[in-house]
Amino acid sequence: MSSSMVEDDTDDELQLSSAALEALNSFLVEKDERQKRFEDLKATLEKEYEERQKIITMEDFEEDWQQSQFWYDSATAEMLAEEILDGAIEGTLVGIVSAPSVFVKIQELKAAERIPDSIKVRLLEFDKRFDLFPEFIHYDFQYPLRLPSELKGKFDRILIDPPFLSNDCQTKSALTARWLMKPWVAPTRAASTSHDSDGRDTAEQSPTRIIICTGQVVKELVEKLFRQAGVRATTLEIRHSKGLSNEFLCYSSFESKRIKWEG
């Protein structure tokens, strides 16, 4: 073998080593860039998550009395939230209709991990300020069935506060509740061993619950509209953050430690 051939082989080895080193350096640079992009993305997502986790309270929403907006005080909103959710199980679908102060309280309770995220809650509300919540569904009682068709017959529980005391508003609100809910069954009957359309034992499901918060003046009408669901006036006191001159009642389809039907 000639010395020139040995030199050529040595040169080739040196050239390959340089190429390999260059490739390695390029790989390391790309790796560092990818890591930086990941860290930037992580920081952005963490910031967005922190922003989403900021607690929104009803103090962020001024009442509009022209829309008949009267927020419950914090204690009442929390009590109603706990009652409508008590006994709910994974997959339970709860509708909060025209009662945003209860919905916002539920979000507070979820943020505090006092309510599991597996319980699904939707807010049906006319005021579009609340569309900042992904659970918001625009609702106008004047058009009681103008709602997404996929919601029909899907809700296990409903809490509703008809915005006006007129017979028209009360009747249309009841029509909305009936359309949204699964068959109206009083909780005492929901523990039977019958099966629903999905073949599940109803005893394993959270019972149907209905709460209506509205004036005493429409008591006879409310109990008539919701009679099939076993709704009756209760002795539970409902308080509003800025007071309310009308006598206000809580009507429900069930009793609990705090909710008792009128004698």
pLDDT digits (tens, 9 = 90+) for 131-143: 888 999 999 999 9
The answer as to whether 259 is a domain residue is no
Structure tokens at 81: 């939230």
68 and 92 in a single domain? The answer is yes
Q: Which residues of the chain have pLDDT under 50?
A: 2-7, 10, 12-14, 53, 189-205
245 and 157 in a single domain? The answer is yes
47 and 67 in a single domain? The answer is no
176 and 205 in a single domain? The answer is yes
**Residue 36 lies in domain:** 1-54
How far is residue 258's CA from residue 263's CA, in Å, rounded to a whole number? 15
157 and 186 in a single domain? The answer is yes
**pLDDT attached to residue 23:** 73
**pLDDT attached to residue 190:** 39
143 and 179 in a single domain? The answer is yes
171 and 93 in a single domain? The answer is yes
The number of folded domains in the chain is 2
**pLDDT attached to residue 19:** 73
122 and 29 in a single domain? The answer is no
Say what the pTM is: 0.72
**pLDDT attached to residue 6:** 47
**pLDDT attached to residue 210:** 97
**pLDDT attached to residue 199:** 38
The answer as to whether 260 is a domain residue is no
Structure tokens at 240: 């509003």
**pLDDT attached to residue 155:** 97
75 and 139 in a single domain? The answer is yes
